[in-house]
């Protein structure tokens, strides 16, 4: 198929060149003015380079940037829907499995006073944080119910082609979806073998680490672009034990 398309393009290109030669020959046969032909031919060829610059470099770049901004806007809407539908609930559940939750929670009291440098510094802190997850210490049954009820929603998100442009969020979705698959295939999460609890602890740790990172990115995006949504997100911060949706 590719070879056929290439052959057709080559033949089409040769046809266009042949037509140009025929018409230039016809022009010379009628007017006998090679000087005029060469002036316009060289002028047209010289303009081709400027045309390439304008079309392929400048205009194409502007259109690509515009398309990228539109796609990122749609993608951030999808990420917002994820946190609204399941992400925030997951953070609350995951915190219950992390014996180190208090250590990191005190650093994640996001407020309107945070600067871009503050968000960047916190991403470094998160990379160094050790998540001590034990699937036996939290509400594993509640997490299972949540994951099973949101499995179809997660699957629809994974089918979104725009997510291919956001590798870190896609990685998070796969980690969360894998955890949902693990829990949905177990009829009960009580009195499991130690190997199962250890395996689930590893899956929760992976998803929790990625989720906290993306949550912080999402908070920064809301602060920079949607102050009213950021205000609600601050008042429902899952890392703040004193958080209240009521405006103080």
pLDDT (tens digit, 9 = 90+) per residue, 228-243?
A: 999 999 999 998 887 7
**Residue 39 pLDDT greater than 60, yes or no:** yes
- The candidate with the shortest Cα–Cα distance to 211, out of 96, 75, 92, is 92
- % of the chain surpassing 70 pLDDT: 96
**If we measure between CA atoms, which residue out of 235, 71, 246, 244 comes closest to residue 165?**
71
Alpha-carbon gap, residue 219 to 237, rounded angstroms: 10
Percent of the chain scoring above 90 in pLDDT: 44
Per-residue pLDDT at 248: 64
* Domain range summary for the chain, segments of one domain joined by +: 2-62, 76-235
Q: Which residue has the higher pLDDT, 66 or 211?
A: 211
Full-prediction pTM beyond 0.75? no
As a whole number of angstroms, the distance between CA 116 and CA 100 comes to 26
Backbone angles phi, psi at 148, to 5 degrees: -65, -40
Under a CB-based contact definition with an 8 Å cutoff, are residues 204 and 135 in contact? Answer: yes
Contact 202, 67 (CB under 8 A): no
Tokens of 189: 């999460």
Cβ-count burial of 48 within 10 angstroms (0-12 exposed, 13-18 middle, 19+ buried)?
exposed
**Residue 133, helix vs strand vs coil:** strand
CA–CA gap between residue 232 and residue 246 (Å, rounded): 9
pLDDT tens per residue across span 119-159: 999 999 898 888 999 999 989 999 999 999 999 999 888 88
Q: Does residue 35 register a pLDDT over 70? A: yes
């Amino acid at each position: 198929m590719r070879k056929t398309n290439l052959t057709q393009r080559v033949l089409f290109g040769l046809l266009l060149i042949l037509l140009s030669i025929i018409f230039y020959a016809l022009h010379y046969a009628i007017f006998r003015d090679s000087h005029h032909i060469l002036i316009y031919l060289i002028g047209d060829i010289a303009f081709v380079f400027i045309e390439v610059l304008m079309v392929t470099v400048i205009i194409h770049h502007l259109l690509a940037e515009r398309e990228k901004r539109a796609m990122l806007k749609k993608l951030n809407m999808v990420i917002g829907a994820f946190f609204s539908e399941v992400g925030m609930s997951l953070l609350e559940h995951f915190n219950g499995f992390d014996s180190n939750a208090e250590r990191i929670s005190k650093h994640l009291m996001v407020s309107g006073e945070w600067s871009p440098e503050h968000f960047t510094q916190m991403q470094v802190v998160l990379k160094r944080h050790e998540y001590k997850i034990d699937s036996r210490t939290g509400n594993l049954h509640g997490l299972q119910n949540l994951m099973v009820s949101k499995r179809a929603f997660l699957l629809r998100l994974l089918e979104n082609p725009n997510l291919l442009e956001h590798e870190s969020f896609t990685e998070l979705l796969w980690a969360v979806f894998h955890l949902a698959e693990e829990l949905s295939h177990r009829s009960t999460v009580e009195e499991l073998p130690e190997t199962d609890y250890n395996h689930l602890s590893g899956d929760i740790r992976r998803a929790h680490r990625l989720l906290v990172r993306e949550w912080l990115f999402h908070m920064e995006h809301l602060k920079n672009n949607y102050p009213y949504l950021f205000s609600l997100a601050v008042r429902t911060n899952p890392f703040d034990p004193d958080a209240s949706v009521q405006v103080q």
